[in-house]
Amino acid sequence: MATILHTSVDPGTGARTTLDDSGEVGGVRQDFREHATWAWFRDHEAELPKDWNVVHALLKTGEAHKFDYDRRIRAFWGRDDLLIWERDMIPYSVEQILGIFACPELSCAIDYPLTRCYILEVETKDGRSLTANPRDSHLLVCAEHQVEMSMMRDIKDKGEPTQDAVWNDGSWTHCDVPPLGLTRLRKEVMQRFPPNWPATQWLDVDQMVGDTLAMNGIRTHIHLPMARHMRKFKRTECVFVATLERKFPIAPLKFILPEFRARILAKHREVWRHTEFPRVVV
């Protein structure tokens, strides 16, 4: 038996899940992903095997509901082979979904791109300005703008769960920590390793699932081609990890005075991490 757990935001909280026949995926950025993913199910759910259990779970937002995504995954953990399908995922094809369930490996995930700006917190050691503005001696600097990277990652320290990670360079076949965008887990592996992690907010649930697998020697098989990650950003905006607090103004590298650019790029290559703004002094 196979279960697809498709999670999206309850339209009562502001997201639009109504569909139209225009062929366009529209809407404001908040509900763009919902519209696109629901459109996929409208067009293709009938092509999935009739005996599959497709669950469309509407989640509420807000502090009182921050653990709801975690609870939903726990509720379906170990019942059947489970595909976790998040609100902003569009697979390459129906055949790709059939293939991920047919694959004999215990854990499989369809890769998808993450758009990210590589940002450093930069200050000058002598208080000089980083830009033509005389006040700008301490800034967040966007060293690389809206780069697309694979969502797959490995845990650096295999002995202990950790947020520090190595990210897929495009050559991997397996990873320790899959994102949960389109991840399929076999019933047997979920029954062997129950979800004993603490209650977790939505952004970190993939880390908890990944740690549960990786710390028990289960690596996740990566499936390609990549799915579409239904996010849209303005071309000029910097894209952040959702939990990072922004304390200083942001400046693109091109606005930085020429004498600082090479040093900032060198530091970026040396110290950048996905889940923080590394702080550097130039």
* Segments making up each domain of the chain, as ranges: 2-112+150-229, 115-147+234-281
The predicted-structure confidence for 200-259, as pLDDT tens digits, reads as follows 998 889 889 988 998 899 999 999 999 999 887 888 888 887 667 788 889 999 999 999
Q: Which amino acid is at 84?
A: I
Cα→Cα distances 181→51, 83, 90, 168, Å? 23, 9, 9, 16
The predicted-structure confidence for 134-181, as pLDDT tens digits, reads as follows 889 999 999 989 988 888 988 776 655 555 678 888 899 999 989 899
Tell the CATH topology of 2-112+150-229: Spore Coat Polysaccharide Biosynthesis Protein SpsA; Chain A (3.90.550)
- Tokens describing residue 171: 């050559």
Global confidence as pTM: 0.82
CA triple 206-223-205, angle to 5 deg: 5
Burial grade of 37 (CB within 10 A; 0-12, 13-18, 19 or more): buried
